[in-house]
Amino acid sequence: MTMCRAIFLVIALATFAVSRPSASAQSASGSSTPAQSQTPAPAQAAPPSSSSSTTVVLTYHRPTEKEKLKNYAFDSFGPYAILGSLAIAGIQQAETPNATPHNAGIPPDWGQGWDAYGARVGSDFGIHLITQSARYTLAEVFREDTIYYRCECSGFLPRLKHALISTVTARRGEDGHRVFSFPAIAAPYAGTEAAALLWYPGRDDLRPRGYGAMDGFRMGNYNLLIQGGMNVALEFVYGGPHTFLGRHHVPIFSGATGSNSSQ
């Protein structure tokens, strides 16, 4: 029930954001690999304000096929994919859901030890790879842009809300207006269903605790939340290789790196 409430909260926030007229005006300053060129909008005089926070408005640039491929490579094989697989496998290795000591872990049939941990790392990386492949493939079919764009807003809560909303939404059209995204919602379940049906131990008379389609759906709920966590990391921690290079080789505020000096 807690998992369902968390997912419902993310979707509710997305509904509120998408329904607001200002949603389409959300700027697209950065992405998971923010290689897109961004053109600043014409400057307009801002009304006097006592607030010190600033927002830089940039026009949306729909990514090219080359840019999509670069983002797909980062999302699928970048540091988050590798470190996430290592961390999740460690959590699964430590889980003991009513299993005997030599059978502990998820899935329990894989047991313990380094060999079992390696199998879990490979399994989790496979889930992530299928998730990202499904997300980008479906995005092409639905003509959506599912790349993560860092928020141009300031403040912890607005940026956190932006990261969570981006988990179940995408950009569409030349203006990049935000919409509910079937690819973003369905992809996490594609990865876990593949694991449950293809390489996790199946359920039979000898393995009543095996895995099936409903287990894949249940794990998909967690996978969707993990995608939200990755967006939060992209927003607050590390926005991609070009952002990293931008901090070391070119000025921090740059449309090419997708970074923002106010962040």
Q: Mean of the pLDDT values across residues 24-51?
A: 42
Within-domain flag for 15: no
199 closest CA partner among 115, 191, 98: 191
% of the chain surpassing 90 pLDDT: 41
In eight-state DSSP terms, residue 202 is: B
pTM higher than 0.75 = no
Token pair 């141009």 is at which residue?
152
The answer to the question of residue 259 being in a domain is no
- Position 87 in a domain: yes
- Position 239 scores a pLDDT of 60
If DSSP codes are grouped into helix, strand and coil, which group holds residue 144? strand
Residue 19 covered by a domain: no
Residue 185 within any structural domain of the chain? yes
- Residue 255 placed within a domain: no
Domain count, the chain: 1
Mean pLDDT of 31-57: 43
Q: Is residue 226 part of a domain?
A: yes
Residue 55 falls inside a structural domain: no
Q: Per-residue DSSP letters for 1-44?
A: -HHHHHHHHHHHHHHHHHHSGGGGG------SS--S---BPPP-
What pLDDT was estimated at residue 243?
Answer: 52
pLDDT greater than 60 at residue 197: yes
Residues β-bridged to residue 58: 40
- Tens digits of per-residue pLDDT, 109-153? 888 889 999 999 999 999 999 999 999 999 999 999 999 888 888
What is the residue range of 135's domain? 62-248
Residue 15 token pair: 């509904």
